[in-house]
Chains A and B, each alone.
Chain A
Amino acid sequence: MKCLVAVKRVVDYNVKVQVKSDQSDVDIASVKMSMNPFDEIAVEQAVRLKEAGIVTEVLAVSCGSVASQDVLRTALAMGADRAVLLQTDESLQPLAVAKLLKALADREKPDLVLVGKQAIDNDCNQTGQMLAALADWPQASFASEVQIEGGCVRVKREVDAGLETVELDLPAVVTADLRLNEPRYVTLPNIMKAKKKPLDVVPAAELDVDIRSGLSVLRVAEPPKRSGGVKLPDIAALLDKLRHEAKVI
């Protein structure tokens, strides 16, 4: 069984990002980049399935500029067998990524696709579901437990009301939530080994996919600053504020 894992290179989760002074975007020129934490969980899950003898090959995929090779090397160091970079210098929206992954899935024919539930930079929460729709596969988003039995995958999902268990026919798309597992530390010997593993760079144009975006970001702004609290003299003043300022009663 082949498992495809999509990973994204994002600003590291410890970095406090700043808006550029012209408000065109977030300033990421000289900040530390790393693998999206949710994608790290997806890679870990794929590697665990491989270690359990269920999956035979783990293929890590990323879309973006050549700089994304470093997160693919991280995925290889965590235990992926092979990596593919769909290279393009354009900025990609989730729909474009889903189309690229679909084109690659047609080529590679994976039985299971694991992706993180969302990226921590744009918080879109779309790619996995879009890929499932384009490929006409079933999906299980927000997975907190994944079991593969026969030709089915049983997934415990984190939904608003609690947990939901769904069973999907393979091939399927599963998006990883935070409680699925805790990713392993990448050891130095594994990093050295990962340098020898195959990493193909495929120009995205070769896949013949329309990656133009229907969205444009007009402005990026800081959120409004929270104003300080005030001490009120009595209940009447509080009621007055609740009625006329907050308008909640």
Chain B
Amino acid sequence: MAVLIVGEHDHQGLNAATLCAVQAAAQVSMYLDGGVHLLLTGSGLGDVAAAALHVNGVGKVLCIDAPHLQYGLPEEVAVQVLSVASSYSHVLFPATAWGKGIAPRVAARLNTSQVSEVIAVQDARTYVRPSTRATCWPPCITATPSRCSRFAPPASRPPPRKVAWPRWRRWPLRRRWAAAAS
């Protein structure tokens, strides 16, 4: 089966995170047969669709163009993704604020687990992701589905260039009576 990427765009071009997802999808599809398809949702998709056709590795571009999809609200986009998801083995999202809003909605409706923030693909069912204070101390977790035949949707994040100090580390140290007393 093919792999579906849900593309994020500003109605002019695809963003960098989506291009990373395309790379990840190409790696996943090496273990499958069916190629990589890119889904675009929005209103007035002419320019983006034309640009998407030239992205290396994308075999087919699906466009769902409707006025109510203009702002890319997760509730609306998830419905559109679900309408085509049944013919794909994997659904990939860019790990941006936009993708993070939609991916869990799709996964929950498909009754399948989601793998967030994938940084490497080992095979079609095995992924590496950072967890537990991701950037300052990331153990890599490899996850594989033991039950789902359709395993979706891993999100791929752009390769980190600059390591940000996690925001909870910037908190002032607080005395925690609650923790101490319980």
Contact = CB atoms under 8 A, between A and B. Distances in A.
A, B assembled together: yes
Contact of A98 (B108, B134, B146): B108
Interface in A196-226: 212-223
Interface string B152-182: 0000000000000001110101111111011
A166 B74 CA distance: 11
Secondary structure type dominating chain A contacts? mixed
A132 B75 CA distance: 9
A159 B15 CA distance: 14
B104 A129 contact: yes
A92 to B, nearest CB: 11
Contacts of B142: 217-219
B100 interface: yes
Contacts of A12: 179
A125 interface: yes
Nearest to A16: B137
Interface residues of A, number: 63
Contacts, number: 168
Contact of A95 (B107, B134, B138, B151): B107
B144 A218 contact: yes
B96 interface: yes
Interface string A15-31: 01101000000100000
Contacts of B171: 13, 37
Given A133-B105, A160-B98, A139 B74 contact: yes
B182 A139 contact: no
A216 B139 contact: no
A19 B133 CA distance: 13
Contacts of B144: 215-216, 218
Given A129-B103, A213-B146, 16 more contacts: A13-B133, A17-B139, A34-B176, A73-B182, A94-B113, A95-B107, A123-B130, A126-B103, A129-B74, A133-B105, A178-B168, A186-B176, A213-B113, A215-B113, A218-B143, A221-B139
